[in-house]
Amino acid sequence: MVSVGPPETLPATVLTGFLGSGKTTLLRRALASPALADTAVIINELGEIAIDHHLVDFVEGDVLELPGGCLCCAMREDLARTLRSLLDRRAAGEIRQFRRIVIETTGLADPAPILFTLGADPMLDQTLHLARVVTLIDAVTGADNLDRFAEAGRQAALADTLVITKTDLVPLGPVLASRLDAFNDRADRIIAADGEDAGLILFGRGERSAAPVPPVEPAAGHTHSIDAFGVILEGALTRLDFARALGSLARERGTDLLRVKGIVSFADRPERPAVVQAAQHAMFAPEWLDGWPDQDHRSRLVFIVHDMPRDEILAHFAFAAPTPWQPPS
């Protein structure tokens, strides 16, 4: 389902994964695709992607233009400032036009603050929308990393797409599959060796395919105190009602509110459902769809939280008669 909105709104994908999971390999494949020639990439350190020998032009301000037409930018200060500078220079014609952005994190990064930045900055919120979070999981060391490192668990829990890498060395086995089910059984799961187009992994088949994965009840056994669950909102709610409820929850527990995403029908604008997203203390602008993405027309949200009881969340949405998500009959 393709959402409608301001034509200048650009999709931004966050690419993450633990150390050695293969982010650079996937990114190289994506940048080599002609379909992604009009892409800007923000990385933490230029050395991580080893693109210097591909350099065609150096644009003042640490923006590199690659042979395929992509732009690469080093994040030397905070992300919001880097993004604003990149967008300002695009608008001024100082660098070539781009239609999408990839933000590659370091292997030890927690994606939640990056999502917060995208939703909290007023200029970015009106210019960008979050396309998806893509997390790479190493089939060789992934299960051990998820058990040992909280960052790896948060990367997996916040993903819309989980990409399993290095399956040419070790197949995706039941131990890793079980760990991933415990952290995130809602995400699309792709075996990198299957040959899926890297551009489709990062952005999907539509420029604005922001429809969320329907929330499902998670498997038991989350570690690092990360939990996820789905909620159906049965009662009518307006955009103001929703903003107040989610805003109060964010004020009280924003640090532990890792991510919220869903599709909602608002009583004050019933003609179109909206994709809603939030991360920590920040709420993203709604992405209005031209119709429901499936036959389930119920308003539904998925919460990914750290050490937060479900009842606490339900209490904030009590006016909308929230119930645990169940598949439609």
226-324 — its CATH code? 3.30.1220.10
Report the predicted TM-score, pTM, of the whole model to 2 decimal places: 0.76
What pLDDT sits at residue 163?
A: 94
d(CA 269, CA 88): 33
Question: What's the average model confidence in pLDDT over 140-160?
Answer: 92
The per-residue pLDDT for range 289-316, each reduced to its tens digit, is 888 888 888 899 989 888 888 889 889 9
d(CA 28, CA 104): 12
* Nearest residue to 261 via CA among 133, 127, 87, 86: 133
The per-residue pLDDT for range 29-81, each reduced to its tens digit, is 887 778 888 888 888 644 444 443 333 233 334 565 555 556 676 665 688 88
DSSP calls for 72-128: EEE--S-HHHHHHHHHHHHHTTSS---SEEEEEPPTT--HHHHHHHHHH-HHHHHHE
What pLDDT sits at residue 6?
A: 44
For residues 100 and 131, is the Cβ–Cβ distance under 8 A?
A: yes
The per-residue pLDDT for range 151-185, each reduced to its tens digit, is 999 999 999 999 999 998 899 999 999 999 999 98
The CATH T-level fold of domain 3-203 is Rossmann fold (3.40.50)
What pLDDT sits at residue 287?
A: 85
For residues 133 and 212, is the Cβ–Cβ distance under 8 A?
A: no
d(CA 155, CA 79): 18
Question: What's the average model confidence in pLDDT over 19-32?
Answer: 83
Reduced to 3 states (helix: H, G, I; strand: E, B; else coil), residue 44 is: coil
d(CA 238, CA 265): 9
The per-residue pLDDT for range 317-329, each reduced to its tens digit, is 998 888 877 666 5
Provide the token pair at 299.
Answer: 């308003």
> Is the fold of 3-203 the same as that of 226-324?
no
Neighbours of 168 (CB within 10 A): 9
In the numeric block, the tokens 């606490």 are attached to 312
In the numeric block, the tokens 């187009």 are attached to 197
273 pLDDT more than 70: yes
For 128-193, the three-class secondary structure string (H helix, E strand, C coil) is EEEEEEEEEEECCCHHHHHHHCHHHHHHHHCCCEEEEECCCCCCCCHHHHHHHHHHCCCCEEEEHH
For the chain, which residues make up each domain, given as ranges? 3-203, 226-324
In the numeric block, the tokens 């065609």 are attached to 56
